[in-house]
């Protein structure tokens, strides 16, 4: 049974930048035959809110997200439209209701983030960011499922995006539950914990196989309790995540940013290190620790959004 749901966000949304910038790995561009007015649409899986309906897919649902106001946004010069919408198609299964999907989508897309104010603030802080943001207004930090996010970024170490996405997809297909639209949800830690490292190696994880296994084990046993992280200070949560093998500063920061919505982190990978070196250190090389300090002190509580824009900016070569 298919259903349409629409959500309203505070400030702009750029679906393409948001879903393809590398913070999430499972969204695929889709054609949307029934609605030619919707310019860009994507197929993916989002977590349902705790306390809401549980389905066979273990608290997840697939959906097709599309935006109708993207063209208008691009065409406008400085006029700030306060509200933007994203439309969803979902296949309702079990006791899932449109309202459940609406709530889940609002959270996933961080509907409360005050993008107009924050984009303005970051732009005023720094001409580099001003240029970056001008191109991709509406790039949003998502609020993903912590476990899926953790597993995905463990797989990202010394790896390429298409590879990461392929392995995550394979894990979902092999071990996950159908979530609609012919997609499966990412399998919970308990399910991965039943498999040995060899299984993950066979799926293309490479040397990260034992990292993934260690993560599944520690999370399933609650040695690292992903729910408890929500109540911790960012620094404590970061430390807790790093108890898992294969989780260092970069992966921990990505999880804190993309799943726990801690905007006061600044994940540093090779691209960001390069960007910080170029823009803020006159081309002199910087350690990842120094780049991180620079980002945190410059951008403070908006460091996460600053990082996303810098990353997008340098990756697209601008």
Partner DNA sequence: AAACAGGTGCTAA
Partner DNA sequence: TTAGCACCTGTT
Q: In the set 225, 270, 300, 316, which binds DNA (CB under 7 A)? A: 270
- Nearer residue to DNA within complex by CB, 21 or 66: 21
The yes or no reply on residue 249 touching DNA (CB under 7 A) is yes
Determine the 3-state secondary structure of 139 from DSSP. coil
Count of positions (residues) in the chain: 318
Q: In the set 195, 213, 250, 292, which binds DNA (CB under 7 A)? A: 250
Q: Name the helix (H) or strand (E) containing 67.
A: strand 60-67
CA R_g for the chain: 19
Of the ranges 6-14, 140-148, 161-169, 276-284, which one interacts with DNA (CB under 7 A)?
161-169
- Nearer residue to DNA within complex by CB, 125 or 157: 157
The yes or no reply on residue 160 touching DNA (CB under 7 A) is yes
Residues facing residue 61 across a β-bridge: 46
Angstrom distance (rounded) from CA 44 to CA 25: 9
- Looking only at residues 80 through 139 of this chain, which bind DNA when binding is defined by CB under 7 A? none
The yes or no reply on residue 159 touching DNA (CB under 7 A) is yes
CA dist list (Å): 168 to 25, 30, 95:
8, 19, 27
Q: How far is the CB of 266 from DNA (least distance, A)?
A: 11
Q: Are 264 and 301 in contact (CB under 8 A)?
A: yes
- Nearer residue to DNA within complex by CB, 130 or 157: 157
- Looking only at residues 14 through 43 of this chain, which bind DNA when binding is defined by CB under 7 A? 21-23
Q: Which two tokens stand for residue 58?
A: 């273990």
- Nearer residue to DNA within complex by CB, 87 or 150: 150
Query: Which residue in 136, 64, 55, 133 sits closest to 96, CA to CA?
Result: 55
Provide the binding-site residues for DNA, judged by CB under 7 A: 21-23, 156-163, 201, 204, 206-208, 242, 244-252, 254, 267, 269-271, 287, 289, 311
């Amino acid at each position: 049974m298919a259903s349409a749901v629409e959500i309203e966000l505070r400030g702009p949304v750029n679906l393409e930048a948001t879903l393809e910038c590398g913070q999430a790995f499972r969204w695929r561009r889709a054609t949307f035959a029934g609605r030619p007015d919707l310019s860009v649409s994507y197929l993916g899986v989002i977590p349902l809110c705790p306390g809401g309906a549980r389905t066979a897919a273990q608290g997840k649902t697939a959906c097709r997200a599309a935006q109708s106001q993207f063209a208008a946004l691009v065409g406008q010069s400085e006029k700030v439209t306060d509200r933007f919408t994203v439309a969803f198609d979902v296949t309702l299964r079990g006791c899932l209701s449109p309202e459940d999907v609406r709530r889940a989508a609002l959270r996933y897309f961080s509907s409360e983030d005050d993008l107009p104010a924050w984009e303005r603030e970051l732009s005023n802080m720094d001409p580099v960011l001003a240029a970056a943001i001008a191109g991709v207004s509406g790039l949003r930090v998502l609020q993903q499922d912590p476990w899926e996010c953790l597993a995905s970024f463990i797989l990202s170490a010394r790896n390429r995006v298409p590879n990461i996405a392929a392995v995550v997809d394979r894990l979902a297909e092999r071990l996950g539950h159908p979530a609609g639209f012919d997609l499966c949800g990412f399998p919970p830690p308990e399910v991965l914990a039943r498999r040995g490292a060899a299984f993950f190696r066979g799926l293309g994880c490479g040397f990260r196989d034992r990292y993934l296994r260690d993560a599944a084990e520690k999370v399933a046993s609650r040695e690292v309790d992903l729910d408890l992280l929500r109540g911790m200070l960012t620094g404590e949560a970061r430390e807790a995540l790093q108890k898992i093998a294969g989780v260092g500063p970069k992966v921990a920061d990505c999880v804190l940013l993309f799943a726990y919505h801690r905007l006061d982190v600044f994940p540093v990978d090779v691209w960001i290190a390069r960007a910080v070196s170029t823009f803020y250190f006159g081309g002199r090389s910087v350690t990842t620790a120094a780049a991180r300090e620079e980002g945190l002190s410059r951008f403070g509580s908006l460091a996460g959004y600053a990082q996303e824009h810098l990353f997008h900016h340098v990756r697209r070569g601008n």
